[in-house]
Amino acid sequence: MEKYQTLLYYCYSTIENAEQFAADHLEFCKSLGLVGRIIVADEGLNGTVSGTREACQAYMDAVHADERFAKTDFKVDEVDEPSFIKMHCRYKPEIVHSGLRDPRVIDPNKETGKHLEPKDFLEMKDREDVVILDVRSNYEHTVGRFKNAVTLDIENFREFPEKIKELEQYKDKKILTYCTGGIKCEKASALLLKEGFNDVYQLHGGIIKYGKEVNGKDFEGQCYVFDNRLTVDVNTVNPSVVSTCRNCGAVTAKMINCANPECNEHFTQCDDCGWEMEGCCSSSCMEHPRKRTYDGTGYYVKVPQPVNVDKISKRKHKNRPAAARES
């Protein structure tokens, strides 16, 4: 039995003083010995954390004990070693960058697509009146996607709203949206409903939960994840590899980051080309003076920027009424 676990989760729930919450939550995670990446926003939490089984259980218990996050659905992976090297927790405007910040326009707590459990998604996905929609970015669906899924040419989820017009041909269909863990579908499906798509669904728990509960049937390739594993297997029923090496065209499921930090592109590259190209996507990147040392993984640790508590305090003081500051 593996000694470690990796938790993937999110929760849309209003957090007051979210910047201070991020600072406090970082210290709490460190006290448990966890490593990972958490985004905190006024609208909720989005995280992947990793640690011992005991630490992960203590973390889940603490999150569920907070009434704001009691509904959080944790996807739990058993792993041989922690999936991160460091722990960081940052405040951002959104827990997933969509550009849809105004809760008067999009609020997943009020309206979103109908949640489909994996077994129901599996039963519905091949019907003639259904369209499966992948709302993830190019580098994610390139390495793995559902059979017959509609994919979008986007580099980042914030581009999704611009693609709505391309989907109008499917307005008379049932739209089944999916993503890695479900978080992007909350806003994507809400936006589709706002734009006049009447029958919109989302895969509850995303690809990760689908793999755990129905063995990932008909998911082709691997699932991109946002930790040092980069991709994980999902399908144990009819697995396949759908991605090819950027450089030679050989079939490969291996995804890396370009060794040139100013490029840092996510792309698929076979082991032979990886060593020959030193983990770079092109010859020009190979010549870059800041090129990182390739160790065969193509994963490079980003140095996290800690939450600046002093800066938060100064900002709050500045925003207080003048009379209060002078007292």
Q: Do 146 and 240 contact (CB within 8 A), yes or no?
A: no
245 carries an active-site annotation? no
Q: Do 279 and 256 contact (CB within 8 A), yes or no?
A: yes
Q: Do 238 and 230 contact (CB within 8 A), yes or no?
A: no
Q: Do 150 and 133 contact (CB within 8 A), yes or no?
A: yes
**Beta pairing, strands 223-224 & 231-232:** antiparallel
- Best CA proximity match to 288, nearest among 261, 317, 316: 261
Identified catalytic residue from 56, 89, 179, 280: 179
Environment class of 15 (CB within 10 Å of its CB; exposed 0-12, middle 13-18, buried 19+): buried
Alpha helices in 287-326 (DSSP H): 309-319, 322-326
Mind telling me the catalytic residues?
Answer: 179
